[in-house]
Structure 1
Amino acid sequence: MGLAALLRRTDFRLLFAGQALSMFGDSALLLVLAIWVKELTGSNGAAGLTLVFVALPSLIGPLGGWVVDHVRRRPFLVVTNLCSALSVLPLLAVRSREHVWVIYAVATLFGTLLVLHLAALNALLKTMLPESALGEANAVLQTVKEALRLVAPLTGAALYALVGGAGVALLDGLTFVGAAIALGALSVDEPVRTVRRQSIRGELAAGLRFLWRARPLLHVTVALALALLVVGIAESVVFAIVEWLRRPPEFVGVVVAVQGVGAVLGGFAATRLIRTAGEVRTVIVGLATFSVGAVVMIAIWLPVVVIGIMLAGFGLPLVLVGFITSLQRSTSGALIGRVTTAAYLVIGIPQTISVALGALLVSMLDYRLLLGVMAGGTLLAVVYLVLTSRGEPSRPDAVSLAAAGTVPGAMSASRAMGWALPPTPSPDDEPPATGSPAELGPDVGDARVRQR
């Protein structure tokens, strides 16, 4: 399905409108929370710590994925947006440094809702659209998200300078209400899911078990985790860059907008790359571009730093669109909530660690050294993904996969790797090992689930 055909669909346009409003609120709020803490405390580390609290809820992601897989996704997204609108109201009480804990509490609650929202959105897209349209849909949404980085951070920072954090909180609350209204008007035929009952522990672990067996999705997730182990440092480094420029904290909005210019271009490129090169190679190109951008940002001449920020911005949507599309195409609808949150758990732990380390190290080390660490870490992720994807067919045929016994269930992962694995998953969370192409599902390109 082409982009024009996708945008002609009424259901996608409504989802698009809801997501645009929701993402505007996300972009404005996350930046303003960090700026607010920076102004109240004067600490780059304390500002970066805000993003740690946003990332922490990913550690309980499997529980959220279990919830998403047991409910209808459209009304669930309506509820998460309404809850997001309510979650910002405590910010109206923030007046001084003593109230920084309120900002951190709101950041944690907001991060929890974000984990639930992402899992439900992935599941809803898979229900709404054919497999062939998922890449385009993800690229469109990611491009809009990055385009909003040109507007939302600047708008949020400007509003913060004019009316303070309370005014921004009210604006964000209205955007989440608008998103809930748009999603409420969406009509989606969500089939009733019959979930085989097993122990709560078994259901919560189902996403991790599936992720362990699936490749190249597993390799993409591990590569992204390696990259995020250093990329999270950027959340604090950006404040150090603004200090070096001798600008007020609100100027972070300008830096984020510059990154957004590159990200918009990357979002447009993602669709073509996925179509021609597949998800894995798209992720490789994105990680490599980000690494180059981090190196360029080490320069002491402002125009070169700007180029580096744009390159880093260009690489991020390639990574995210490739990762999300690989995840959606690899996973059955009944399990996608738990697989999504399992994947975000795997990448969320190193991200949380790196954001926390960045908040600590930015006051101890020169930010250019931290940029070098970011470049080296993402380059290591590139090398890992290149090596693990070597020899993998980019577009495997479903029939040949079944014949070769490489679809899930055809062989034991522990026998192939010589490692112990968690208990064997129930039949509900793995597709059949044999059958016709129709039973096996459509070609999913790089993301075809294969037994490890």
Structure 2
Amino acid sequence: MKFLLARRDFRTLFLALTVSMLAESVLVLALGIWVKDLTGSDGLAGATFLALSAPMLVAPLAGWVVDRVPRRAVFIALNLLTAVLLLPLLIVRQASDLWIIYAVAAGYGLSYIVLSATVNALVPELVPADLLPDANSALQTVKQALRLIGPLIGAGLFSVLGGARLAAVCAVCFLLASVGGMLLAGRKVADQSSRPPERLTWASEVSAGVRYLAREPALRKVALCSALSMIGLGVGESLYFAYVDQGLGRDAAFLGVLVSAQGVGGIAGGIASARVVRRLGEVGAVAVGIALFALGSLALVHPTLWLALPASVLIGMGLPVSMVGMNTLLQSRTPADLLGRTAVALDTLVSGPQALAIGLGALLVGVVDYRLLFGATGVAMVFVAGSLWLSRRLAPPATPVARIESDSNSSPKARR
């Protein structure tokens, strides 16, 4: 970590992303609470999350933009536009203003998609290939930490400041992230304005990331297995209320304890993920992450407190380990001029089915015992993890990297 933070550009990006991710973790929950406060409707509050995810339909266009505009410029503009996007929330006062919250939520959802692809494409421009696992690990660790404390901060600030003032605070955070982007050197590894020698239609260029993902063996395998694991994770998320109520015999508020345990596991997984990638390779790391999901799901089949907390920690650990492995594989196997589109295609394939799986789980838990569903999910993910583990030769571990010396302006030199 110290070698990364010694590099001025990565340190700047790290701080800028920390500020913007804090605003994100606060904002997402606060919008739903705000709608509930204005209308008293759980359904309308839940629709906020639908508005946030709706822009996934235009995700391929986001990848095309990231590959056709310098990534530093996209990062700056995106954070600046997000800050401006939040300003209409300052005039929300009553239920008739609900459409403003939904419109802002949809706009922010699109901003999040583009930002995710931009960061995936920008990181390889700021750090050498042998430090990609460490860079992704650092960012995932912060993300998991904010996932743990962000909702608490958001709920607390909303109760103290109200929705409009909280939106103003988040806008300032995005503005600061934009300023951080201006301090980046803006180096790039390839000419992003170049075009393939053959003549391509606009539709072909937009879909190029999907086609590359389909023909690259390691990425294709990881994408498929990760999508299946996210389906299992989505189904599992719908079972927690039944698990806490019927299994543990506790109030629904106890779910917050399990979520906190997942957050602790997420931080631990984020810290350890770079080492896992170096030892097992990117594909092996994703397999380990999915295996942790599987073990956690199987442990929840027997509802008891002494298994509930460790199982939640295991599930929390699985996400950053698999994400760091997947992102590092994406960055190391994808040409620079395709990275934005491929990143969006991968994110859509992996994250999209999870939302549908949450709905499926909510339907199934009404007719099937939640323990059977946890067991079936866990067994299915064991097979997915096993299949991916057997394919780890597609991306074997890299040669161990020696200690790296770095300063703020020079490339690191490995001591042989």
Aligned position for 1:80: 78
Q: Distance in 1 between matches of 2:225 and 2:21?
A: 26
Aligned position for 1:91: 89
Indicate yes or no: 2:348 matched with 1:345.
Answer: yes
Unaligned ranges ≥5, structure 2: 399-416
Aligned position for 2:408: none
Superposed CA offset, 1:407-429 (max 9, x none): xxxxxxxxxxxxxxxxxxxxxxx
Aligned position for 1:192: 191
Using the TM superposition, give the Cα deviation of residue 70 of structure 1 relative to its aligned residue in structure 2, in angstroms. 0.4
* Counterpart AA for 1:365: G
Using the TM superposition, give the Cα deviation of residue 46 of structure 1 relative to its aligned residue in structure 2, in angstroms. 5.1
Q: Distance in 2 between matches of 1:36 and 1:303?
A: 36
Matches within 5 A, 1:156-167: 156-167=154-165
Using the TM superposition, give the Cα deviation of residue 16 of structure 1 relative to its aligned residue in structure 2, in angstroms. 0.5
Contact 2:282/2:326, CA 8 A, preserved across alignment: yes
Using the TM superposition, give the Cα deviation of residue 200 of structure 1 relative to its aligned residue in structure 2, in angstroms. 0.4
Distance 1:361 1:285, change over 3 A: same
Distance 1:391 1:170, change over 3 A: closer
Using the TM superposition, give the Cα deviation of residue 258 of structure 1 relative to its aligned residue in structure 2, in angstroms. 3.5
Aligned position for 1:215: 217
Distance 1:374 1:160, change over 3 A: farther
Superposed CA offset, 1:206-257 (max 9, x none): 1111111112211111111112224335666667789885467xx9776544
Other structure's SS at 1:207 match: helix
Contact 1:295/1:372, CA 8 A, preserved across alignment: no
TM-score by length of 1: 0.76
Distance 1:175 1:235, change over 3 A: farther
Q: Distance in 1 between matches of 2:156 and 2:369?
A: 28
Aligned-residue CA RMSD in angstroms? 3.2
* Counterpart AA for 2:146: L
Q: Distance in 2 between matches of 1:397 and 1:365?
A: 44
Contact 1:69/1:338, CA 8 A, preserved across alignment: yes
Matches within 5 A, 1:430-441: none
Matches within 5 A, 1:294-443: 294-297=297-300, 301=304, 304-357=307-360, 361=363, 365=366, 369=370, 373=373, 376-377=376-377, 379-387=379-387, 390=390, 393=393
TM-score by length of 2: 0.82
Using the TM superposition, give the Cα deviation of residue 182 of structure 1 relative to its aligned residue in structure 2, in angstroms. 1.1
Contact 1:298/1:368, CA 8 A, preserved across alignment: no
Superposed CA offset, 1:399-450 (max 9, x none): xxxxxxxxxxxxxxxxxxxxxxxxxxxxxxxxxxxxxxxxxxxxxxxxxxxx
Q: Distance in 2 between matches of 1:195 and 1:33?
A: 41
Aligned position for 1:260: 263
Q: Distance in 1 between matches of 2:131 and 2:30?
A: 34
* Counterpart AA for 2:340: G
Contact 1:64/1:338, CA 8 A, preserved across alignment: yes
Using the TM superposition, give the Cα deviation of residue 291 of structure 1 relative to its aligned residue in structure 2, in angstroms. 2.9
Q: Distance in 2 between matches of 1:294 and 1:103?
A: 36
Other structure's SS at 2:336 match: coil
The count of residues paired between Structure 1 and Structure 2 equals: 391
Superposed CA offset, 1:255-313 (max 9, x none): 54432211110011101100001111211221221233344456655564333332221
Indicate yes or no: 2:119 matched with 1:128.
Answer: no
Distance 1:374 1:50, change over 3 A: farther
* Counterpart AA for 1:323: M
Aligned position for 1:110: 108
Contact 2:277/2:397, CA 8 A, preserved across alignment: no
Identity between Structure 1 and Structure 2 (%): 37
* Counterpart AA for 1:58: M
Contact 1:35/1:47, CA 8 A, preserved across alignment: yes
Distance 1:252 1:59, change over 3 A: farther
Contact 2:293/2:381, CA 8 A, preserved across alignment: no
Q: Distance in 1 between matches of 2:185 and 2:375?
A: 44
Using the TM superposition, give the Cα deviation of residue 155 of structure 1 relative to its aligned residue in structure 2, in angstroms. 0.8
Aligned position for 1:224: 226
Aligned position for 1:285: 288
Distance 1:96 1:366, change over 3 A: farther
Contact 1:287/1:378, CA 8 A, preserved across alignment: no
Q: Distance in 1 between matches of 2:32 and 2:375?
A: 24
